[in-house]
């Protein structure tokens, strides 16, 4: 059987989009994008967004003496200063300034440039932000059709201990591959399968044993499809309860520095991971 590998390194040199939204602290995202570029050879495309004014200010001209081109130049210069201050050196990444709402504009830029992934700052997601709908990373994940790597501002190096939830579908497979592409060696990727709430082990022993064996076979088949870099060990584990809660609990138990999940439908599990994350999060569509 021919196996299709999913590594981002095989995407014909596809660039990585570094999203600077002007709100979340993006120092960690800048460092991770630079580290991925050095290791994988992907070009970095920087996109920063000028959002429209809020409705209560839409009728006011806040910049009466300034041409739109000057605002764009200022935004590009600010993004450049931020990148250089984090890297501590000159950089050669192109910086594009686009208008619109952050999530829609970044999703459109990712589709247009056929990027391998989007790297974003993860934000803080306080309760007030959820009420206001200002969960930028959650909204970006919901709209993009490529993997998203969300990075807390304090991250300085690539992760070495990752946990990815899997239901053995294509989205889970893609998330696991992106996690592998992000891991530094020596590193560990643990694939966690969360049993359904209706656990056959509780009702019929033979059915339960059959289910257990089937999961073992599915783990083996999934690992066989992954492009595993040298120095990376893959482990498997099983959980129970809600998928997001199980992934978060396992990640906390082993002190993981990256969590991952596939995006399905509304992306509920991915959204919960992003909201609760204290480490990098990878979300991938099928």
Say what the pLDDT of residue 205 is: 61
Residue 102: phi, psi to the nearest 5?
-55, -50
pLDDT at 159 over 50: yes
Say what the pLDDT of residue 236 is: 97
Mean pLDDT throughout 117-136? 64
Say what the pLDDT of residue 139 is: 85
pLDDT band for position 130 (cuts 50, 70, 90): very low
Say what the pLDDT of residue 239 is: 87
DSSP conformational letter for 254: T
Say what the pLDDT of residue 273 is: 93
* Stated pTM of the model: 0.86
Lowest-confidence pick of 124-128, 156-160, 264-268: 124-128
Q: Tens digit of pLDDT for each residue in 236-284?
A: 999 888 899 999 999 999 999 999 999 986 668 989 999 998 899 999 9
Mean pLDDT throughout 208-231? 89
Say what the pLDDT of residue 274 is: 92
* DSSP β-ladder status, 258-262 and 161-165: parallel
Q: Choose between 11 and 257: higher pLDDT.
A: 257
Say what the pLDDT of residue 7 is: 52
pLDDT at 148 over 60: yes
Q: Choose between 274 and 127: higher pLDDT.
A: 274
Q: Tens digit of pLDDT for each residue in 25-43?
A: 899 999 999 999 998 888 9
Say what the pLDDT of residue 136 is: 79
Reading across the β-sheet that carries 95-99, which strands appear in turn? 95-99, 44-50, 16-20, 117-121, 148-151, 280-284, 258-262, 161-165, 187-194, 232-239
Tell me how far apart the alpha carbons of residues 97 and 118 are, in angstroms, rounded to a whole number.
Answer: 16
Q: Choose between 163 and 126: higher pLDDT.
A: 163
Mean pLDDT throughout 158-173? 96
pLDDT at 217 over 90: yes
Say what the pLDDT of residue 226 is: 97
pLDDT band for position 70 (cuts 50, 70, 90): confident
Q: Which domains does the chain have, with CATH numbers?
A: 1-154 (3.40.50.620), 158-286 (3.40.50.620)
Q: What is the mean pLDDT of the chain?
A: 84
Q: Choose between 6 and 88: higher pLDDT.
A: 88
Place of tokens 């994940």: 141
Residue 44 pairs with which residues in a beta bridge? 16
């Amino acid at each position: 059987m021919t196996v299709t590998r999913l590594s981002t390194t095989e995407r014909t040199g596809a660039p990585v989009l570094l999203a600077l939204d002007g709100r979340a602290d993006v120092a960690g995202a800048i460092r991770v994008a630079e580290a991925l570029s050095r290791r994988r050879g992907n070009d970095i495309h920087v996109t920063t967004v000028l959002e429209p004014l809020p409705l209560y200010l839409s009728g006011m001209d806040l910049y009466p003496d300034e041409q739109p081109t000057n605002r764009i130049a200022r935004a590009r210069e600010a993004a450049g200063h931020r990148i250089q201050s984090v890297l501590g050196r000159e950089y050669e990444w192109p910086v594009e300034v686009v208008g619109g709402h952050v999530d829609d504009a970044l999703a459109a830029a990712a589709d247009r440039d056929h990027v391998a992934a989007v790297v974003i700052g993860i934000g803080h997601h306080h309760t007030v932000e959820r009420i206001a709908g200002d969960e930028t990373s959650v909204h970006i994940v919901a709209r993009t059709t490529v993997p998203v790597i969300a990075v807390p501002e304090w991250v300085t190096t690539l992760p070495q201990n990752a946990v990815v939830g899997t239901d053995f579908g294509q989205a889970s497979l893609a998330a696991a591959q992106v996690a592998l592409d992000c891991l530094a060696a020596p590193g560990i990727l643990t694939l966690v399968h969360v049993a359904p709430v209706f656990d056959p082990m509780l009702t019929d022993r033979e059915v339960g044993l059959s289910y257990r064996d089937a999961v073992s076979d599915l783990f083996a088949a999934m690992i066989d499809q992954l492009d595993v870099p040298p120095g990376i060990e893959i482990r498997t584990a099983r959980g129970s309860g809600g998928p997001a809660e199980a992934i978060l609990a396992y990640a906390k138990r082993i002190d993981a520095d990256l969590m991952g999940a596939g995006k399905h439908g509304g992306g509920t599990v991915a959204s919960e991971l992003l909201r609760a994350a204290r480490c990098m999060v990878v979300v991938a569509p099928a």
